[in-house]
């Protein structure tokens, strides 16, 4: 049916204003979506640091250690003596004396101490200049004059054979008593000195 008249054109349908679109609520304190990943990275970094520390400690324990310095040799292995000369003083004295000179050598870098010099014959007594104990520097030599006093010719052999000196030595490793044979020339000179000192008084 046709309508006529004057006035505003009315729209068809419901003319109530439409409701506004709902606004989504903003949750408070919502954790970031990247937090789990960040935690994983932090844990991985800590594990890596621990692994580096453990590896470094293990390397320190397993690395080759420097060899300890060699132990010093025994003093008798590094010390030698050489006979130089002999001199008879006064064979007519009540207790005749003679002296001989030896040279001590230290073949080690470390010093050696000569604590005592003695001999096996009961009728002889020994002294030295310098007096014992005396020090021989490492790699060096030192002359020693040994004075022999004849106390009883009856206890001295006419033929000294291969006489030796008993020398007490000490270094940083040990203390030793070692017998040194000074050679044929020393034996001849000692026999001549005893002959001059004792004459017919030998045993």
The pLDDT, as a whole number, for residue 161 is 76
The C-alpha atoms of residue 189 and residue 28 are separated, in whole angstroms, by 116
Q: What integer pLDDT is reported at residue 112 of this predicted model?
A: 97
181: domain CATH number is 2.60.40.1230
Q: What is the pLDDT of residues 81-115, one digit of tens each?
A: 999 999 987 656 667 889 999 999 999 999 999 99
Say which range, 7-21, 133-147, 154-168, has the weakest mean pLDDT.
7-21
Residue 165 in this model has a pLDDT that exceeds 80: yes
Q: Is the residue at 127 inside a domain?
A: yes
117, part of any domain: yes
pLDDT at residue 96, as a whole number = 83
CB 144 within 8 A of CB 84: no
Q: Where are the beta strands (DSSP E) in the chain?
A: 79-88, 97-106, 112-118, 124-129, 134-136, 141-150, 164-170, 175-181
Give the mean pLDDT of 58-75: 77
d(C-alpha 31, C-alpha 116), whole Å: 91
pLDDT tops 70 at residue 198: yes
Identify whether the C-beta of residue 156 lies closer than 8 Å to the C-beta of residue 194.
yes
Pick the residue with more confidence: 14 or 170? Answer: 170
Query: In this predicted structure, what is the pLDDT of residue 1?
Result: 46
Q: Which helix (H) or strand (E) holds 188?
A: helix 184-198
The tally of domains found in the chain comes to: 1
**Higher model confidence: residue 65 or residue 193?**
193
**In this model, does residue 11 exceed pLDDT 60?**
no
Is the pLDDT assigned to residue 2 strictly greater than 50? no
d(CA 161, CA 151): 20
**What gap in Å lies between CA 129 and CA 135, rounded to an integer?**
12
DSSP β-bridge partners for residue 181: 164
Residue range of the domain that includes 118: 75-198
Tell me the β-bridge partners of 119.
none
| pLDDT in the model for residue 141 | 97
Element (H, E) at 25: none
Q: List, edge to edge, every strand of the sheet that includes 79-88.
A: 79-88, 97-106, 141-150, 124-129
- Residue 62 forms part of a structural domain: no
């Amino acid at each position: 049916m046709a309508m006529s008249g004057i006035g505003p054109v009315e729209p068809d349908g419901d003319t109530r204003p439409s409701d506004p679109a709902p606004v989504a609520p903003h949750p408070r304190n919502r954790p970031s979506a990247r937090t789990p990943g960040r935690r994983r990275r932090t844990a991985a970094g800590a594990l890596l640091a621990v692994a580096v520390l453990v590896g470094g400690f293990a390397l320190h324990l397993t690395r080759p250690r420097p060899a300890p310095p060699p132990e010093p040799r025994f003093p008798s292995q590094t010390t030698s003596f050489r006979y130089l000369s002999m001199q008879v003083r006064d064979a007519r004295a009540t207790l005749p004396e003679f002296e001989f000179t030896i040279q001590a050598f230290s073949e080690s870098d470390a010093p050696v101490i000569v604590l005592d010099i003695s001999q096996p014959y009961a009728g002889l007594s020994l002294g030295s200049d310098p007096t014992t104990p005396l020090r021989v520097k490492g790699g060096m030599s030192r002359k020693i004059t040994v004075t022999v006093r004849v106390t009883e010719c009856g206890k001295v052999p006419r033929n000294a054979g291969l006489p030796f000196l008993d020398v007490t030595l000490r270094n940083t490793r040990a203390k030793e008593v070692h017998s040194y044979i000074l050679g044929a020339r020393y034996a001849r000179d000692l026999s001549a000195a005893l002959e001059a000192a004792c004459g017919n008084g030998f045993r």
